[in-house]
Amino acid sequence: MSGGALLQIRDLSVAFGRGTGATRVVDRVSLEIDAGETLAVVGESGSGKSVTALSVLRLLPYPNASHPTGSIRFRGDEILTAGRDRLQRLRGGEVGMIFQEPMTSLNPLHNVEKQIAEALRIHHGLDRAAARRRIVELLELVRLPDAERRLKSYPHELSGGQRQRVMIAMALANDPELLIADEPTTALDVTIQAEILDLLADLKSRLGMAMMFISHDLNVVRRVADRVAVMHNGEVVEHGSAEEVFERPRHEYTRALLAAEPSGQPEPAPRDGGPVLETENLRVWFPIKGGLLQRTLDNVRAVDGVSLSVGRGETLGVVGESGSGKTTLGMALLRLQRATGAIRFDGRDISTLKPKALRPLRRGMQIVFQDPYGSLSPRMSVEEIVAEGLDVHRLADDETDRARRVAAALEEVGLDPTLARRYPHELSGGQRQRVAVARAVVLKPSLIVLDEPTSALDRSVQSQLVTLLRDLQARHQLAYLFISHDLTVVRAMSHRILVMKDGRIVETGEAQSLFRNPRHPYTRRLLAAAFGESADTLDESDSVII
């Protein structure tokens, strides 16, 4: 414990609420960051890592939040008792902050110049021309292409990665000594994620700042951290150099977290299966209309000529970045999205069936969505949610049979049947996702489209869900169409993989061989970004412009 640390957090506690209803979300956390060093704070959602970071700038909703114990010293100055002026100098001045969601943390009504100028004007009082020179300089520093022209762009005109670069430029505007990055790459695609991480590492070494890096993603942390603090239930359970923590974890929670990476492989698919779902040259085009008569000028080709087949008991992984059309493909296959091209389900062409004729077939093909909070109606109990499909298809003979089937489905997905009376908001994210799976399997379908089912969940919950899905598949010969951008999960789930980019299939093949030796340059790039090595190490001739 040297006295010269840049940021020193001692015995910090954070409580929400007052009186007897108060809950302590951070409990006696001690951390310190030296100048020029990166400390990663790792933990699952609810572990108190973001709250700790926000306390450094006193950005919590006081007085609802309070600090029963502890002190935070930045360069020796106590922050918890600092006055307004000191805090003002701290925020955006000596300490910069990057948030997770670049869309909501930029003001949608301000252009790029105005966003960054705000920080400059408050702290430096620069005039317009000087401010603009500085802004361009900053945008070049964060490698925003075409910096000069981007000054007048609004946030919605930028891509996710570009927005995050603007955020970083804002945080850097006043040469901070400490940068707090709260899940800065979580909302981004893997290849963009890799670029942003490279950028942060580069900036850190060039500008010599310290960084407090909050993340739940161990892959990311491994790439940037000098030291790592692991948080669990509001406490720091392990604290040490990155190498120590990753190679020789001492605390069992850290070990669990490291082992939580979804791993293993699905059981081999039965050979005699035959296709459950087939499609040829499937297209979903959204017309772009213009002109006086609203004539179709061009089309957005969300899905463009995709042919695929999924066999009984087989998982087909669909991989791609956001905007590649993989979700639209899933929707189109279930006829939830208008499309052209043949779709054969169980040998029957369903692409032209009327809704009424399609209804009985819907029983056989189900879907599980990404967001476990949005996919369950908040006003229905778990039992009502799971039983809805039973009622539509009149599968239950009577009330008791219905309750029995619901209980069986809940048990099958590893939930206690007594949860049936609860409402979704009383369940955790993992439990909700299991309810969503139960809603699908209660109908005994032959195909389930899994649209990013693990993306909103913590790693440890992810691997439980992956295990559950593999079990269900083996038991019921389910066919899965597994849509995900997360290659770790896809590798653990899929028999075959299909890589999509801009609505087209760029590569398809057996999962193991595709991971071992990807042929298409885009696939290589994805793999490189996801599994550690920087994309730069690839052969220059292989890289493509994304």
Binding test (CB under 8 A) with another protein, winner from 359, 421, 475, 519: 359
365 touches another protein by CB under 8 A: yes
287 touches another protein by CB under 8 A: no
The interface with another protein within residues 431-460 (CB under 8 A) comprises 436, 439, 443
Q: Which helix (H) or strand (E) holds 509?
A: strand 504-510
The interface with another protein within residues 84-103 (CB under 8 A) comprises none
- As measured in angstroms, the least distance from the Cβ of 402 to another protein is 15
Specify the pairing of strand 235-241 against strand 275-290: unpaired
369 touches another protein by CB under 8 A: yes
Stretch that binds another protein, among 89-97, 155-163, 316-324, 362-370 (CB under 8 A): 362-370
Closer CB to another protein, 317 or 330, in the complex: 330
Which residues lie below 8 Å from residue 251, measured CB to CB, with a gap of 6+?
230, 237, 238
The interface with another protein within residues 393-412 (CB under 8 A) comprises 393
Beta strands in 245-390 (DSSP E): 275-290, 295-311, 315-319, 340-345, 348-349, 365-368
Closer CB to another protein, 197 or 332, in the complex: 332
Binding test (CB under 8 A) with another protein, winner from 45, 64, 265, 299: 64
Measuring CA to CA, which residue among 114, 118, 181 is closest to residue 151?
114
338 touches another protein by CB under 8 A: no
The interface with another protein within residues 2-21 (CB under 8 A) comprises 17, 21
Q: Where does residue 230 rank: exposed (0-12), middle (13-18), buried (19+ CB within 10 A)?
A: buried
Q: Where does residue 16 rank: exposed (0-12), middle (13-18), buried (19+ CB within 10 A)?
A: middle
How many residues in total does the chain contain?
546
Binding test (CB under 8 A) with another protein, winner from 67, 239, 362, 432: 362
Stretch that binds another protein, among 132-140, 281-289, 366-374, 398-406 (CB under 8 A): 366-374
CA dihedral 149, 150, 154, 159 (to 10 degrees): 130
CA distances from 125 to 115, 117, 122, 174 (A): 15, 10, 6, 11
CA distance 479 to 36: 51
Closer CB to another protein, 18 or 519, in the complex: 18
Stretch that binds another protein, among 152-160, 168-176, 385-393, 485-493 (CB under 8 A): 385-393
Closer CB to another protein, 245 or 376, in the complex: 376
- As measured in angstroms, the least distance from the Cβ of 466 to another protein is 20
- As measured in angstroms, the least distance from the Cβ of 425 to another protein is 9
336 touches another protein by CB under 8 A: yes
Three-state DSSP state, 82: coil
CA distance 353 to 357: 6
Tokens of 508: 């398809």
Count of CA atoms in the C-beta half-sphere (13 A) of 184: 35
Binding test (CB under 8 A) with another protein, winner from 212, 376, 527, 535: 376
334 touches another protein by CB under 8 A: yes
**Residues of this chain that bind another protein (CB under 8 A):** 17, 21, 64, 331, 334, 336, 355, 358-360, 362-363, 365-367, 369-371, 374-377, 379-380, 388-389, 392-393, 423, 436, 439, 443
